[in-house]
Amino acid sequence: MNRRLGRGGPLAGVRLLTFDLDDTLWPCFPTIQAAEREVHAWFREEAPVLAERYDIEELRRHRMRVARENPDKAHDLTAIRVHSYRQLARRHGLPESVAHQANAIFRRARNQVRPYEEVVEVLKALRGSYVLVAVSNGNAQVDRTPLAGFFDHAFSAEEVGAAKPDPALFHAASEAAGVPLELAAHVGDDPERDVEAARLAGMRTVWVNRGNADWPPGLAPPDLQVPDLHRLRDALWKEDIA
Ligand SMILES: [Mg+2]
């Protein structure tokens, strides 16, 4: 029996840590903004009619509309983005390749994230003691980001066919790690899509609350709340030596 099993702390016995990415390990919005600026600059050069007709906000609104019109694909942000660019290209008599090239530019820029300052240090410290799996609703490719090499596995909603709060990402992580969900903790910033979803899947839950927000009334509280990953590491080490 794992010597950590049966201890009283909130993360006792945990062997698998799943991590949300956006706004848990890096701020999402600045990366998306920069990526969309890059796409727009590329349109200015290669498909100027699109750059003239649509600013970044209009491109975003169009994409949102495509997502609403295709609810079965809404979890697949890449498919939605390509679909949106393809519609606009067609509308203006441009080849479909414009959509794929624009998407490739977006993907590359989307991976240029800047992790919060403590993240690399803490992942390095946890690696080896826990199985680490990235589980994201977003479409960053973690092995092409500055966090490449830290995770044993990584899954995105578009790969597993459903976004959190659906438990598909957690099940994929558990299966890949060979660790049951009752010996897993999920770490994320979103009270519903991370914490509540993981709780319902039978996992321990860690809420990363970097902005010192109030926990939403009506939801069961997380097993552990931390302002950053240093505190997660401290809590895990404490379990380990308990
Ligand atoms: Mg998040």
Residue-averaged pLDDT of the chain: 95
Is residue 2 predicted with pLDDT exceeding 80?
no
Q: How many domains are there within the chain? A: 2
HEC states along 200-227?
HCCCEEEEECCCCCCCCCCCCCCCEEEC
Within this chain, do residues 138 and 161 fall inside the same structural domain, yes or no?
yes
Distance 23 CA to ligand 1 centre (A): 5
Which of 110, 141, 166 is the last residue in one of the domains?
110
Please report which confidence band the pLDDT of residue 238 belongs to, taking 50, 70 and 90 as the band edges.
Answer: confident
Q: Does 175 lie in the same domain as 82?
A: no
Assess whether pLDDT exceeds 90 at residue 232.
yes
* Residue 133 host element (H or E): strand 131-136
Which residues are within 5 Å of ligand 1 (an ion), measured at CB? 20, 22-23, 189
> Residue 43 Cα, ligand 1 centroid: separation in angstroms?
29
With cut-offs at 50, 70 and 90, classify the pLDDT of residue 188.
very high
What range defines the domain where residue 55 resides?
Answer: 29-110
Q: How far, in Å, is the centroid of ligand 1 from the Cα of 48?
A: 34
If asked whether residues 88 and 145 sit together in one domain, one would say no
Q: Tell me how far the alpha carbon of residue 58 lies from the centroid of ligand 1, in angstroms.
A: 24
Q: What is the pTM of this model?
A: 0.91
Determine the average pLDDT of the residues in 37-57.
98
Q: Which residue has the higher pLDDT, 7 or 37?
A: 37
Residue 122 and residue 190 share a domain: yes
Could you tell me the end-to-end alpha-carbon distance of the chain, in angstroms, rounded to an integer? 15
Question: Residue 91 belongs to a domain with what CATH number?
Answer: 1.20.120
